[in-house]
């Protein structure tokens, strides 16, 4: 299924309208489990759970003579190491 998702992602990134990928047993299991997910969501909808409000952050261009740098960081617990890289 991972390979199928990779292909689907590549289809979208290239801006095509259609992509056909052969199904496998994992895809069928996912579709069968989707019924249970819908049932779960329906049951939770009747609980009247109030979710906190989410604020929407809007991107603001930097002021004149300023630049924005984005970095990705990662923490690896198993090796007790960290890494940082420019996007």
- Domain span at residue 14 reads 2-86
For residue 18 the two structure tokens come to 């259609």
User: Quick check: 78 and 61 in contact, CB under 8 A?
Assistant: no
Mean pLDDT of the chain: 77
The predicted pLDDT at position 49 comes to 66
Region 29-44: mean pLDDT is 79
How many domains is the chain partitioned into structurally? 1
User: Which positions ≥6 away from 12 have C-beta within 8 Å?
Assistant: 19
């Amino acid at each position: 299924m991972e390979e199928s998702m990779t292909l689907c992602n590549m289809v979208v990134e290239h801006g095509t309208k259609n992509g056909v990928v052969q199904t496998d047993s994992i895809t069928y299991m996912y579709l069968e489990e989707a019924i249970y997910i819908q049932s779960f969501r329906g049951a939770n909808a009747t609980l009247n759970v109030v979710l906190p409000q989410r604020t929407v952050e809007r991107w603001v261009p930097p002021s004149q003579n300023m630049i924005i740098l984005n970095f990705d960081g990662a923490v690896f617990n198993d090796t007790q190491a960290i890494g940082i890289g420019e996007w």
